[in-house]
């Protein structure tokens, strides 16, 4: 059997396994980025936010250790490209933040709800997938490629080869190229961990601490899987390339574009050029993990739309999430965890937009 097929299969099944654990852990700990933001806005309660930040800190440490050991090359990820399309990242992040608030949760949360029996979330995910696909290859994509993405900062003009905060810090303080990878990650991760554990109530919350650590390790595992195990010789070109991913480069957890590719695979199943990929496997894995948790805890129940007004808001939010998520190159998981774990400058912009859009929408809803 073709060795490249075996490599791609390991990447796909590995991604499925990681996402299965993610689905179970997120369901058990009620992990939800929008929920964490809502807790702060409405109740000034930071526990779920601290869990998310803990996961980010662990992902930063793990990801940069892999880089430092030479097991992966983060400069090959989509987040580290030297072109910084700041309007796309900010606008896309803001639209995604608004959309997830209108839809009652991000893509990951809707996958969890669908696994637990929510037909409402199933409909939301279908519209997220359609909107995302239109932004990748359809009508929205033409607008994106023609008017928004071309506005970008070329970081090579400033002596940078990537968007890495590590490289920026190294350039500013004059560190040699062999040392910077662990300087900025160490400082950022340490600051995040101090913030997380300065709250006594959170320090006693064993479930959320363990959950945050596991989620951070899952993101790290995704990078290792696609960036190391999946880096092999392509039989068509005889060059080393990344196998088993839709982007044809290394990936970790992200759910907007993979939702679109999942729909594409279902609709064009007989197209032999399409295959099950890491991203598609993670979409399936999260939903199945949530289903397993719901069945074992007897919390599975069917759920629909509460009203016509609810349906309209959910669908509007879904379309905004699909468009915004592609524009921002990721969602609350894709940019908020995987992208941030690489310390890409663009990921911080996208995450700022996501949080800002969500908070503004919550304030508007409260009014």
pLDDT (0 to 100) of residue 295:
97
Is pLDDT of 124 > 70?
Answer: yes
**Number of compact structural domains in the chain:** 1
Tell me how far the alpha carbon of residue 121 is from its chain's centroid.
18
Write down the pLDDT at residue 83. Answer: 93
- Average pLDDT score over residue span 45-68: 96
d(CA 155, CA 74): 16
Q: Taking Cα atoms as reference points, which of 243, 334, 279 lies closest to residue 19?
A: 279
pLDDT above 80: residue 287: yes
Q: Which domain holds residue 333?
A: 3-366
Rounded Cα distance, 134 and 257, in Å: 10
| pLDDT (tens digit per residue) in 134-185 | 999 999 888 898 999 899 999 999 888 899 998 888 777 776 655 556 888 9
Query: What are 288-316's pLDDT values in tens digits?
Result: 999 999 999 999 999 999 899 999 999 99
Lowest-pLDDT range of 119-133, 141-155, 325-339, 348-362: 141-155
Q: Is the pLDDT of residue 340 over 80?
A: yes
pLDDT at 180: 54
Instruction: Read off the pLDDT band of 112 (50, 70, 90).
Output: very high
Q: What is the pLDDT of residue 158?
A: 86
Residues in the chain: 367
Q: In the prediction, which pLDDT does 80 show?
A: 93
Query: Cβ neighbours of residue 296 under 8 Å, at least 6 residues apart?
Result: none
Q: Return the residue matching tokens 């075996």.
A: 6
Q: pTM of this prediction?
A: 0.95
What is the per-residue pLDDT across 24-33, written as a single tens digit (0 to 9) for each?
999 999 999 9
For the stretch 47-58, pLDDT in tens is: 999 999 999 999
Task: Round to whole Å and give the CA distance between 346 and 82.
Answer: 10
What pLDDT score was predicted for residue 95? Answer: 97
**pLDDT single digits (tens) 197-254:** 999 999 999 999 999 999 999 999 999 999 999 998 877 776 888 999 999 999 999 9
């Amino acid at each position: 059997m073709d060795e490249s097929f075996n490599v791609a299969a390991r990447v796909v099944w590995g991604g499925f396994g990681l996402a299965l654990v993610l689905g179970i852990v997120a369901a058990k700990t009620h992990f939800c980025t929008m929920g964490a933001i809502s807790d702060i806005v409405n109740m000034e309660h930071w526990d779920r936010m601290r869990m998310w930040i803990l996961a980010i800190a662990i992902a930063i440490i793990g990801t940069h250790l892999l880089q430092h050991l030479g097991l992966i090359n983060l400069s090959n990820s989509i987040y580290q490209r030297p072109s910084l399309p700041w309007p796309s990242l900010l606008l896309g992040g803001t639209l995604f933040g608004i959309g997830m608030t209108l839809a009652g949760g991000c893509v990951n949360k809707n996958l969890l709800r669908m696994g637990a029996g929510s037909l409402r979330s199933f409909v939301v995910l279908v519209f997220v997938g359609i909107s995302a696909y239109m932004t990748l290859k359809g009508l929205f994509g033409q607008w994106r490629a023609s008017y928004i993405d071309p506005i970008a900062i070329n970081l090579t003009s400033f002596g940078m080869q990537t968007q890495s905060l590590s490289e920026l810090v190294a350039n500013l303080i004059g560190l040699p190229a062999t040392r910077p990878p662990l300087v900025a990650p160490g400082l950022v991760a340490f600051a995040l961990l101090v913030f997380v554990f300065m709250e006594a109530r959170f320090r006693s919350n064993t479930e959320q601490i363990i959950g945050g650590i596991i989620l951070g390790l899952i993101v790290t595992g995704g990078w290792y899987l696609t960036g190391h195990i999946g880096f092999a010789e392509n039989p068509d070109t005889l060059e080393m390339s990344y196998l088993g991913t839709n982007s044809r480069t290394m990936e970790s957890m992200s759910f907007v574009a993979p939702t679109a590719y999942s729909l594409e695979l279902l609709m064009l199943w007989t197209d032999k050029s399409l295959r099950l990929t890491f991203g598609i496997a993670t979409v399936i894995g999260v939903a199945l993990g949530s289903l397993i948790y719901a069945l074992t805890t007897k919390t599975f129940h069917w759920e629909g739309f509460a009203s016509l007004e609810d349906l309209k808001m959910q669908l509007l939010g879904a379309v905004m999430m699909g468009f915004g998520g592609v524009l921002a190159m990721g969602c609350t998981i894709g940019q908020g965890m995987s992208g941030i774990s690489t310390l890409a400058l663009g990921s911080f912009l996208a995450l700022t937009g996501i949080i800002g859009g969500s908070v503004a929408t919550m304030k508007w809803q409260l009014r």
